[in-house]
Amino acid sequence: MLSYNVHALRDDAQAVARVVRACDPDVVCLQEAPRLLRWQSRRRSLDRMMGMIPAISRRTGGLAVLCRPGIEVHRIGHRVLRRYPGLRVRTLSMAALQVDGRPLLVGCTHLDLHPGARLHHAGEAVDYLAAFAVENPGPSVLAADVNAEPGSSAWRLITAGLRDAAGEHPWGEAATFPARNPARRIDGVFTSGAVEVHRAGVPVEPADAADMADASDHRPVLADISLEAEPVTEAAEGG
């Protein structure tokens, strides 16, 4: 699973596609996907270059969840988070997927630079994803450009109920921003339920360092995960 802020493709879209293809993810969550001039055609072009199929790709909020061919999309959801005057509209995109026969709920969000709005939106995103999971049972993954580092209020709120994949199973490099001189970890993948994280971090291998520097102002987070078998209840065992 890959989380990637692609800076509205203002840098090098082909480099973005090369980074994604090198990582070979089953699911890609994009923040700052194009949402202005020619946004649909630019997104479609990127989808083709990456070899991915959109599960949900909404203009409002600039988010997209994409899957490799063969993954089933059972349900999608998109929520506009609380609006703050003078600040950009923030959203949460969600998809209930079937991956190799097992359910997986994926959420994607991009939190605000303003600390108060960021904290409120973090709580909304967690709550909306939990409500989506009630209607679509299964383990959850939240991909987020948090716009704040671990230890911040928003990060602590998210990890009160979700696990920080790269924090618990670090791999590659940690810092995601800025791409050309990375110094801060402000992007994350967070999990809940029967998700086993094998490793997570900035994929300095297999992705090309020059491509990551050219592609966007963020570097991606790649989480190598597998879906654990759900526990069997006694009633189920007894038929």
**Containing structural domain, residue 84:** 2-229
236 found inside a domain: no
Query: How many Cβ atoms sit within 10 Å of the Cβ of residue 137?
Result: 11
What integer pLDDT is reported at residue 231 of this predicted model?
A: 52
235 found inside a domain: no
111 found inside a domain: yes
CA-nearest of 202, 235, 238 to 5 is 202
117 found inside a domain: yes
Edge-first strand order for the sheet with 72-80 is 72-80, 91-99, 102-110, 140-145, 187-192, 163-164
234 found inside a domain: no
210 found inside a domain: yes
Number of domains in the chain: 1
What integer pLDDT is reported at residue 235 of this predicted model?
A: 44
10-residue block means of pLDDT along the chain (239 residues)? Answer: 98 98 98 96 98 97 97 98 97 97 97 98 98 96 98 98 98 98 98 97 97 98 88 44
- Asked whether 119 and 82 are in contact (CB, 8 A), the reply is no
Cα 51 from Cα 139, distance rounded (Å): 25
153 found inside a domain: yes
CATH of the domain at 6: 3.60.10.10
**Alpha helices, H only, 162-204:** 165-168
What integer pLDDT is reported at residue 228 of this predicted model?
A: 81
Positive or negative, the CA dihedral 158, 26, 213, 216 is: negative
CA-nearest of 210, 206, 172 to 189 is 172
209 CB-near residues (< 8 Å, 6+ apart): none
Residue at 85: amino acid letter: P
CA-nearest of 148, 120, 108, 126 to 5 is 108
Task: Give the SS3 label for residue 179.
Answer: coil
148 found inside a domain: yes
What integer pLDDT is reported at residue 186 of this predicted model?
A: 98
Cα 4 from Cα 33, distance rounded (Å): 9
